[in-house]
Amino acid sequence: MNEVFLDTETTGLSFQDGHKIVEIACIETKDLIATGRIFHKLINPQRSMPDEAFKVHGFSQDFLSDKETFKQIADEFLNFIKDKKIIIHNASFDLNFLDGELRSMQKEKINKKLVIDSLEVARNKFPGVSNSLDALCKRFNIDLSRRTRHNALLDCELLREVYINLLEAKEPKFNLSNNISEININRAKDYSKTIVKISDAELKKHKEFIKSEIKKNFY
């Protein structure tokens, strides 16, 4: 099964508050190697663009006014992701918008069984620290110089690199020498408890020794 790395840009934080998708991008991979197939659309949200959102991605209402609506690109998008694993960073955010748009068109929501949330993968690997896309790129020394603003297509490319690194990343471990570990393991394997049974003569001598020591020290 091929994979798709997916990202969106929006007018705000929640579909339920009337916000809409303004950009959607997907990069197809096979065994995490890019196939060269991409899906990338700028979308007319048919609403105003809040200043906060404009500062994030730089898409103005005027710039998007002649672009297709989500309804116009929905079938092409669904065909592109069909029967593929979908890898999204902070999947609940993007799925909230995608499912909201699809529901408004009486279309089926995205199959959650096919979705992998790379944010959850990162949190399991690196608990208690920031696992934003920016933070993970810095952790894995991935070049962020092109990311002056949020861009769905670029973020998909960065996410693919991050995800590959996440799968290869090792859990934190104590820095113990392999040689010492091997020695301890071998000792543990070779060690066995031996019970030695003493003879009657040895027991008699031991009792006589104890008796003489008691007389010497206490009488």
pLDDT single digits (tens) 95-123:
999 999 999 999 999 999 999 999 999 99
pLDDT single digits (tens) 160-180:
999 999 998 654 444 444 443
Domain boundaries, the chain: 3-168, 182-218
Instruction: Kindly state the average pLDDT of the residues 61-72.
Output: 96
Residue 6 has pLDDT above 80, yes or no: yes
Q: What is the pLDDT of residue 9?
A: 96
Determine the Cα–Cα distance for residues 59 and 206; give it in Å rounded to an integer.
95
Q: What is the pLDDT of residue 149?
A: 78
Residue 41 has pLDDT above 70, yes or no: yes
From the list 19, 57, 89, 150, the catalytic residue is 150
> Mean pLDDT, the chain, as a whole number?
84
Q: What is the pLDDT of residue 212?
A: 54
* CATH code that applies to domain 3-168: 3.30.420.10
Q: What are the angstrom distances between the C-alpha of 95 and each of 100, 109, 132, 146, 185?
A: 8, 9, 17, 26, 49
Tell me, yes or no, if 19 is annotated catalytic.
Answer: no
Residue 185 has pLDDT above 70, yes or no: no
What b/e sequence results for 184-205 when a residue is b if at least 16 CB atoms lie within 10 Å of its CB, and e otherwise?
eeeeeeeeeeeeeeeeeeeeee
